[in-house]
Structure 1
Amino acid sequence: MKSNLLDFRSDTVTKPTAGMLDAMMSAKVGDDVFGEDETVHALETKVASIFNMEEGLFCPSGTMTNQIGIKCFTQPMDEVICDQTAHVYRYEIGGIAYHSGASVRLLYGERGILTPELIEPEINEDNIHYPNSSLVVLENTVNKGGGSCYTLSQIAPIHHLCNIKGLKLHLDGARIFNALTATGDKAHSYGQYFDGISVCLSKGLGAPVGSVLLGSKATIHKARKIRKAFGGGMRQAGFLAAAGIYALDNHVVRLKDDHHHAKMLADALLKTNYVKCVMPVQTNIVIFEVASGSAQKVVNQLNEKGLLCSTTSNSTIRLVTHLDLSSEMIDRAIEIILHL
C-alpha cells in the first residue's frame, strides 16, 4: 500500500511505534500455557487492576474474549440479549450459536445503546417453550452506532436489573478506553457492574494484536480451559503482551486527539453536498449517509484521491481516526473531503 495514502478504514490498521517495538523485543518471556510467561502475567494483572476485576486472560483477539465470555456465562439452549448492531451478533460469524449453543434476542437501542426499559420486557419467563435468558451483552463504544458510548450512570441500572433477574452482564469493551476518554468515567468503577469485560488492545491503543478477558477467579479459571479448547493457548506470548503494556502506559491519554480529529472530519463532511447527514461524533468513529446514489461510489472516489474508508451499508460510510493519522494528515483528508 502506498505510504502517502490516508487510511481511515479502521483503527486496527496501526503499526507498532518505535517505543512499542523496543518494549516487545526486550520482553521477558516463557511458555504461557505452562503459566511461565511473566510479561503475559504482568499484562493480565495490570488490566484486571485497572478495571478492579479479580483476574485477566490474554487472548489473540476481541472476538475470542467475547466468545469465551459468552460461553462462560451461558449453557446450551440459553438466550443472549444484545442490541441488533452488536459486534458479538453481526461480526463474530455466528459464534454464539456455534460455540455456546445459545440463541440471541435482538433489541433496538438508540445508536446501539440499551436501557433497562428495553431489556426487561425481553427477559423470558420460566416456560418450557422459551430459552433461558441468561446473559446481557453491552458494547462500548458501539461500532455501528458511530462510536456512541455508555456512561456508568447508564450501565448501573442495567446491572441492577440483571442482578435482580439473575442474568450475567458482559461488556464487549472493544473501544472501552475511547468511551472512558469521552465520558470522564473511571475504569476502576467498571468492575462492580460486569461479570466479564473484554478489553481490546489492538484498536485505538495501537497494539498489533490481543485482548484481555476480565472476570472473577472462577470465571477466568473456566475461561482458560475454554481458550485452550479454542486453540488460543499461546507459548512465548510475552512479546505480544509487552506491546499491550506499552499501549496502556503510553497511548490512552492521546485518544482525545483521535476524538478531536473525528469531530474535524464530521464538520468538513457537513459542508459538502454529497453528504445527507452525519451521526453525532462522541469518539473516534465518523459515520455519514450519502445524499444520493451508492455509498460505494463515494468510497471509490475518496480512495482514488488517497483517502481510504469503507461502507457500513448501501448508503453509509465509516471513517475511523487513530494514532497513525497526524494533524497534518487530517488536514489533507479534510481538503479531499471538501473538494471531492
Structure 2
Amino acid sequence: MPCLRRGASVKTVTRLAGPSSSAAFPATPRSGLIDLRSEAVAPLHPEVRAALCQAPEGSDSYDDDAAGHELEARMSEMFGMASALFVPTGRMANAMAIGLLAGPGTEILADADAHIVRSEYGLAARLWSIQTRTFAPVGGRLNVLGVEPLLSVLENTTMPTRLVCVEDTHAACGGAPQEFKALRQLAERLAQRGVGLYCDGARIWYANVAQAVPWRAYGELYDGLAVSLVKGIGAPCGAMLLMREDRRKEMRDMRRMLGGAWVRPGPLASAALRALDANAADPARDCANAALFAQSLRAELPDLHVLQETNIVMFDVPDSALFFEKCRADRVLVFRFTPTRVRAVFHRGISADDARTAALAVRDAHLSSE
C-alpha cells in the first residue's frame, strides 16, 4: 500500500484512459482544492465542453431535436428498453417513474435509507397521493425474503402495493451495489404478483464496475430505470428515464407538466453523447481511487470505521461540522452526510495523488479531534 506523503502536487495533470486518452484535465479543480463533495463538481472533459458549442439546433417543443433523439435512442438500445426520455434531473426522473408506474391511491415500497425516501421532499405523497412504506436494508442491499411479506395485494382492505423501488448503487450506504442475483430473484417474484420494480440507478455506472453484467441485463429486470448522465459519465446535467413499455408520449406529457420541458436540448444532449464515449473509463478509475483513499485511511487510522465499495467513502466522526472545517483548512472538501458521518465522493477530477493527499488531510483532522 502506498504510504501517505505530502509530496503530491495539487496541480498534477492526469490523462484520461479510453477513447480520448490524449485529452488532459486538471486533477484538482477549483483553484487547488481537492473537492470530494459530489460528482457534480467534477470538471467537464474538453471534448464534452466543445460539444456544447457544436450541437445541431432543434426544438424539443416540436420533438425534432436530432441530438436529443440520438441520445434517447442510444440509451434505449444500450439498456434494451422500449422508451427513453432525456430529463433535467434525477429527481424529476424518479418523480415521473413513480407517478407512471404506481399511480394515485396506491403504495410503493422502498428501503428506509433510499434517496427517494430521505432526500426527495416526500414527492410520492405530495405529487401523486402515493403512500410510501419502508423496509430495512442490509448494508444498503435488498433482503428479498424481507420485501415480499410486505406486499399489500388485498385492494378491498389495504392500499395495494404497485411498485418496489431499489437504489443502485446505494448512496446512503457507502455506494453499496445491489447483488444482481438478488435483483433478478426479486423481479421474478414481483412479476408473479403483478407488482412493478423500479430502479433509481443514478450511479448504475459504478454498480456495473462492481457487478460486471451487460447493460441490457439491467433493462430486463426493471419496469422503469433512471440513470444520471452526470454521475460517472460527466455530462453537464441531466438524467435518462427508461421504461420497459413504450410510454414515451406519457413521459413527455408528464415532463412538461412538471416544468421540465426543454426548449433547445441539443447542446446538452450532444455533450452527454460525447461524455458517454470520452469518459467511458472514468467509473472504474473513480472506484480505484476511492479504494486507495479508504485503504490509506484504514492503514493510518485502524480504529476508524470506513465504508467503501465503489466510488463513495463514508466514515464516522464525533462532529462532522467541525471535521469539515478542519479538512477545508487543509484544502480538502468533504460532505457532511449526518451530524456524525462524513462522505467523500471520487470523480473524474480526482487523481490517485489527490486520493493520497486527501487521506492525509482526513487523518490529520481526525487526530486533532481526539
- TM-score interval, smaller chain: over 0.9
Moved more, 40-49 or 150-159: 150-159
> Offset at 1:116?
2.0
> Gaps spanning 5+ residues in structure 1: where?
none
Q: Is the 8 A contact 1:82 1:106 kept in 2?
A: yes
Contact 1:269 1:275 in 2 (8 A): no
Residue 22 in structure 1 maps to residue 47 in structure 2: no
- Larger mean Cα displacement after TM superposition, 133-142 or 259-268: 259-268
Is this contact kept in 2: 1:288–1:317, CA < 8 A? yes
Contact 2:232/2:282 (CA < 8 Å) preserved in 1? no
For 1:338, the equivalent position in structure 2 comes to 363
| Other-structure match for 2:284 | 256
User: 3-state DSSP class of the match of 1:12?
Assistant: helix
Any conservation in 1 of the 2:187–2:197 contact (CA below 8 Å)? yes
Deviation at 1:115? 2.7
Alignment equivalent of 1:163, drawn from 191, 194, 207:
191
Partner of 2:295: 267
- One of 124, 136, 143 as aligned partner of 1:115: 143
What residue in structure 1 maps to residue 36 of structure 2? 8
Counterpart secondary structure, 1:141 = coil
Aligned to 2:160: 132
How big is the shift at 1:23?
1.6
Other-structure match for 1:230: 258
1:64-103 to structure 2, matched below 5 A, reads: 64-103=92-131
Gap change, CA 1:313 and 1:83, over 3 Å in 2: same
Instruction: For residue 275 of structure 1, report the CA deviation from its aligned partner.
Output: 5.7
Cα deviation for residue 127 of structure 1 reads: 4.7
Partner Cα distance (1:252, 1:151) in 2 = 22
1:260-299 correspondence runs (5 A): 260-273=288-301, 276-279=304-307, 281-290=308-317, 293-299=318-324
- The offset of 1:162, in angstroms, is 1.0
User: Match for residue 50 of structure 1?
Assistant: 78
1:328 maps to a residue whose letter is D
Please state how far the C-alpha of 1:76 moved relative to its aligned partner. 1.5
Residue deviations 1:103-126, cap 9 Å, x none?
Answer: 111010112211321111110131
3-state secondary structure, aligned to 2:305: strand
Partner of residue 40 from structure 1, selected from 68, 72, 84: 68
> What amino acid is the match of 2:330?
K
AA of the residue aligned to 2:299: K
1:213 alignment counterpart: 241
The runs of at least 4 aligned residues of structure 1 exceeding 6 Å deviation read none
Q: Which residue of 2 aligns with 1:304?
A: 329
Amino acid at match of 1:289: D
Q: How far, CA to CA, are the matches of 1:19 and 1:328 in structure 2? A: 24
- Secondary structure of the residue that 2:100 maps to in structure 1? helix
Amino acid at match of 1:132: P
Percent of pairs with identical residues: 28
Of residues 309, 329, 333, the one that matches 2:354 is 329
Identify the residue that residue 177 of structure 1 maps to in structure 2: 205
In structure 2, what is the Cα distance between the partners aligned to 1:335 and 1:80? 43
Q: Which moved more, 1:59-68 or 1:268-277?
A: 268-277
Which moves more between the two structures, 247-256 or 56-65? 247-256
Specify the SS of the correspondent of 2:149. helix
Contact kept, 8 Å, 1:111 with 1:142, in 2: the verdict is: no
Give the C-alpha shift of residue 310 in structure 1.
Answer: 1.4
Comparing 266-275 with 228-237, greater Cα deviation is found at 266-275
Supply the distance in 2 between the matched residues of 1:228 and 1:145 (Cα, whole angstroms). Answer: 33
Q: Is the 8 A contact 2:110 2:164 kept in 1?
A: yes
Q: TM-score normalised to the size of structure 2?
A: 0.87
Question: How big is the shift at 1:92?
Answer: 0.9
> Partner letter of residue 309 of structure 1?
V
Deviations 1:269-312 (A, max 9, x none): 22345963012x2210001112xx31222222111111100122
Q: Which runs of 5+ in 2 are unaligned?
A: 1-28, 366-370
CA distance in 2 between counterparts of 1:215 and 1:271 reads 45
Alpha-carbon distance in 2 for matches of 1:26, 1:259 = 32
1:263 & 1:92 partners in 2: Cα distance? 29
